[in-house]
Amino acid sequence: MKLTIAVLALATLFATPAAYADGDAAAGKTVFAKCAICHSPQPGKTVMGPSLFGIVGRHSAGMEKYPYSDAMKKADKIWDEATLDTYLSDPKAMVPGTKMTFAGLPKPEDRANLIAYLATLK
């Protein structure tokens, strides 16, 4: 019984949420076309917004030399999968005052696929 509880606890601790584990990075690259208007997948390359290379695990407002909004500087988030999912559903709701004008991705599968793609940008 104790072993079963320990195994379940470890599985929960190290499990990737299903929404992201099921994400399709190839499909996410297609979704990224909406982002590519303002963001580059290349390291250090800014367009209108900061590069999204290495975004998964990065601190909000964490790209050097990019002029983030005060709202994003104060957001104090780590862009993990769950935080990205919330942000991508409605950026202005999560970070009021952000400069990002994108309304968000309403479909959970699009967000999961995009996050799977962003996780490949390392």
Lowest mean pLDDT among 3-17, 61-75, 108-122: 3-17
Counted residue by residue, the chain has a size of 122
Amino acid symbol at 74: K
Once rounded to an integer, what is the mean pLDDT over residues 44-54?
95
- The model's pTM: 0.82
Contacts of residue 9, defined as CB under 8 A and 6 or more positions apart, other chains included, come to: none
Once rounded to an integer, what is the mean pLDDT over residues 32-48?
96
* pLDDT value for 20: 54
All structural domains of the chain, each given as residue ranges with its CATH number in brackets, are 18-118 (1.10.760.10)
